[in-house]
Copies of this chain bind each other. A is one copy, B any other.
Amino acid sequence: MQKKVFFITSNPNKARECKNILSFFSIYVEIIKLQISEIQSDTLEEIARFSSLEAVRICKKPVLVEDSGLFINILNGFPGPYSSYIQNKIGNYGILKLMKGIKNRRAIFKSVIGFCSPKKLNQVFVGEVHGSISYEERGKEWAFDPIFIPDFSDKTYAQMSAEKKNEISHRRRALEKFAIWFNKEQNG
């Protein structure tokens, strides 16, 4: 049986990463470009759960949604669930300005995958990478990648190749948890 899920996103970077990562687990991903109304919440888990329920209501297919955020300890978890909005508004420049003169640069990059089937089998899967905020932008890729250094590296996400990043990223960890669960469900 072909294992297939529908990934709801309008972000081509996320789409590429997700397809790539789930292919290791023999799960075929079809992208549905759809703008879902996300709710406001302090937790990515709640946002992803709500979005997956909303997506299945519209698509009537087994759907995946993903939401991710950078949580900086000393800023009480800012930018957190509104990372994408805040990135668009103040950019890495703004984050680095807020972090100026601060020694505690600990941060967590978090990804939450929400899955929902038409029968309302609904699960969320969390992937985290602990690390720190760099003192300046390094590398060029999207969003916060140029300012996040995972603990097991001295490079920022943006300085890694796509392959390397997909091996270790927060999104990889969340998708991996999903994939293991999903393959078990399909075989069970």
Contacts and interface: CB of A to CB of B under 8 A. Distances in A.
A37 interface: yes
A77 interface: yes
Interface in A71-113: 75-80, 82, 85-86, 88-90, 94, 97-98, 100
A40 interface: yes
A61 to B, nearest CB: 23
A38 interface: yes
A86 B90 contact: no
A39 interface: yes
Which residue of A40, A42, A98 has the most chain B CB atoms within 10 A of its CB atom?
A: A40
A75 B97 contact: no
Name A's interface SS: helix
Contacts of A82: 40, 82, 85-86
A182 interface: no
Nearest to A86: B78
A102 to B, nearest CB: 10
A37 B39 CA distance: 6
Contact of A38 (B40, B80, B98): B40
Interface of A: 37-42, 47, 50, 75-80, 82, 85-86, 88-90, 94, 97-98, 100
Given A40-B40, A76-B90, A97-B98, 13 more contacts: A37-B40, A40-B47, A40-B82, A42-B85, A75-B94, A78-B86, A79-B89, A80-B85, A80-B89, A82-B82, A82-B86, A97-B100, A98-B98
